Amino acid sequence: MTGLLCDRSADSFVREFPGRVIFRTRLSALRGDVQREFFNRCKLLPRLFITMALAGTLVSTGCARTGAETKTAPAASAKSVAVTGKVKPDSAATNALAPDLATNPAPPAVAINPVLPGIFIAGDSTAARGAGTNQQGWAVPFAGYFDPAKVNVVNRARGGRSSRTFITEGLWDQLLANVKRGDIVLIQFGHNDAGAINDTNRARGSLPGLGEETEEIDNLLTKKHEVVHTYGWYLRRMIADTRAKGATPIVLTLTVRDIWKDGRIERGSGRYGPWASEVARSEHVLFIDLTDKMADEFEVLGEDKVNALYPRDHTHFNAAGAELHAAGVVAGLKGLRPSPVVKFLSAQGREVPADRFSWLQMLPPANPKLPTLFLIGDSTVRNGRGDGANNQWGWGDFVGQYFDPEKINVVNRAIGGTSSRTYLREGQWDRVLALMKPGDFVMMQFGHNDNGSPAAGRTAIQGIGNETLAVDNPTNHQHEVVLTFGGYLRRYIADARAKGATPIVCSLIPRKIWKDGKIARNKDSHAGWAEQVAKAEIAPFVDLNEIIAERYDTLGPEKVDPLFGDPHTHTSAAGAELNAQCVVAGLKALADDPLAPYLKEEKP
């Protein structure tokens, strides 16, 4: 450290560090307690050093030297930041295309150690080396989270490119030429794929969707004949090429744009995030939902503080925003099971907490404009990653086929091992609420993991009363006030209604336990309690415990056995399919089924 310099004319302090480049970006909203919260958010970023002006509104930040000249942003209001003559659009401009950068320099040459494995990044300006300190891509600081003695980190992202033009301009082939067996390729596109398919300016748009449609054009920009494919086709091409090299492709959803409405930040530009996730799922490759992860974090920070991370426009963040996104990618990679990167991390990378949810590979709503049916519950609704591991499936992975995808999304957010208590305590419910909007639905089923002592850490108090129990939780070593099973169901119902959504309560599916020639019911415990709460709260109730038990009774033990993937709790694909049929039958039996308009029409 060379000392503290006072720039009184700018009302700011600049702290200079050896080997660091110093830049300043206006954070006009950050004062007092807001400053402290911003600093707390940056504690896990050892390469960032932030010094606030005591009397002004500028923040000085040190990061790894980029080689770009640093400039101070001109004055601007909290709502709109003027940088190089450009004004940041207001949040109402939700359909604006991501602007191309004034310059989109090629990535600098990187010495690749041929002995080491590599992590390659294919993407656009939100990942690429930026035009200066006010605009930086996340893949630039990303390298600092890895040990260069263990892995090459090669950023080949290029500003202004779409999934289509990254391939047609030869950038993908250049990246692929250095990829070898055992490498990892991170693929992230979408911000520029909604552009014009053919014009004299950029001609970079891909066809929307995931299908095999094509459009032949004489490209006005390149003067070449071209067959344009869908966004999904280009991603599948990159996945296939990566696999052909013996490397591992991992798909990322988009970075977050600084567009807000009613206190909520936009979760993805158009449908590219859901499309990217669906391609990854259909191709059986891993993906990281960076959009939802960063949106969750940014909504905690709040609009004013997030605005400061985007001084140029609503798409491109500064170096501090790049660090936060980079840490989000690292957290997502660490949270995969097994994680492909843990053995390559630097000390900085080891400090980042693993994302607890990324390994579950949960898809976002396919079309954010449609209403969504959220499913919450335990492993009998969604087992593990929802991929049938160990021949075990939840009914939530089969019920979607009964709904019209042009009318409603079905999003299975159930998590194995959770109880009515832990689904709330561990943050899963908050993530669902963050996606929920008026007109949505949530179907809940708990009970299998709510048995035992509340002091043990997982289970609710038995019953539906209003009593509580204060405990020191042995699993997370935190003090906790535990509710009854009914108390947690009432919380889910109230929260959903507060969001303008419709809650639907289900009793737990029965286990394969026979008693006197019939499947044992749970009327005197969780199944009965769920029904009582639903009636008291005037919420639709589907008695899966009874409906499915009656089906099992009719089939008999010999035919029921193949419906389970374990001795008595988790169903096979056939069992999950039968249970999904029972869910739909239970909905149709309701006097006023709220989901009736969204079910597929039955064929005669």
Report the pLDDT averaged over residues 153-180. Answer: 97
Instruction: State the helix-helix crossing angle for 290-301 and 33-41, rounded to 10 degrees.
Output: 160
Instruction: Provide the token pair at 114.
Output: 């041929």
Task: Based on the fold, state whether residues 432 and 497 are members of the same structural domain.
Answer: yes
Contacts of 293 (CB under 8 A, 6+ apart): 328, 331, 332, 355, 358
* Residue 600: pLDDT band with limits 50, 70, 90: very high
CA of residue 393 relative to chain centroid, distance: 22
| Position 106 in a domain | no
| Position 62 in a domain | no
Number of domains in the chain: 2
| CATH code of the domain in which 137 resides | 3.40.50.1110
Task: Based on the fold, state whether residues 500 and 382 are members of the same structural domain.
Answer: yes
Q: Phi then psi for 393, rounded to 5 degrees?
A: -130, 155
Residue showing tokens 């507060």: 498
Report the pLDDT averaged over residues 93-100. Answer: 40
Separation CA 563–CA 577 (nearest Å): 9
| Position 92 in a domain | no
pLDDT value at 533 more than 70 = yes
Task: Based on the fold, state whether residues 126 and 211 are members of the same structural domain.
Answer: yes
Task: Based on the fold, state whether residues 264 and 392 are members of the same structural domain.
Answer: no
Please report the DSSP string for 276-319 in residue order: HHHHHHHTT-EEE-HHHHHHHHHHHH-HHHHHTT-SS-SS---H
pLDDT of residue 455: 87
pLDDT value at 483 more than 60 = yes
* Residue 529: pLDDT band with limits 50, 70, 90: very high
pLDDT of residue 306: 98
pLDDT value at 72 more than 60 = no
| Position 209 in a domain | yes
Q: Is the peptide bond before 567 cis (omega within 30 degrees of 0)?
A: no
Instruction: Provide the token pair at 92.
Output: 């109402």
Separation CA 247–CA 407 (nearest Å): 38
| Position 359 in a domain | no
Task: Based on the fold, state whether residues 338 and 428 are members of the same structural domain.
Answer: no
Q: What is the DSSP letter of 146?
A: B
Of 288-302, 447-461, 520-534, the least confident: 447-461
| Position 444 in a domain | yes
Instruction: Provide the token pair at 139.
Output: 């893949």
Task: Based on the fold, state whether residues 463 and 593 are members of the same structural domain.
Answer: yes
pLDDT value at 288 more than 60 = yes
- Closest alpha carbon to 444 in 466, 426, 465, 428: 428
Separation CA 538–CA 558 (nearest Å): 39
* Residue 35: pLDDT band with limits 50, 70, 90: very low
pLDDT value at 31 more than 50 = no
Element housing 578 (H / E): helix 573-588
| Position 476 in a domain | yes
Separation CA 417–CA 414 (nearest Å): 10
Of 13-22, 243-252, 421-430, the least confident: 13-22
The percent of residues above 70 in pLDDT, for the chain, comes to 82
Task: Based on the fold, state whether residues 566 and 426 are members of the same structural domain.
Answer: yes
* Residue 107: pLDDT band with limits 50, 70, 90: low
pLDDT value at 28 more than 90 = no
Task: Based on the fold, state whether residues 284 and 389 are members of the same structural domain.
Answer: no
Element housing 258 (H / E): none
Task: Based on the fold, state whether residues 380 and 490 are members of the same structural domain.
Answer: yes
Domain interval for residue 456: 370-598
Task: Based on the fold, state whether residues 490 and 564 are members of the same structural domain.
Answer: yes
Task: Based on the fold, state whether residues 413 and 376 are members of the same structural domain.
Answer: yes
| Position 84 in a domain | no
Mean of pLDDT over the chain: 85
Report the pLDDT averaged over residues 125-148. Answer: 94
Task: Based on the fold, state whether residues 133 and 176 are members of the same structural domain.
Answer: yes
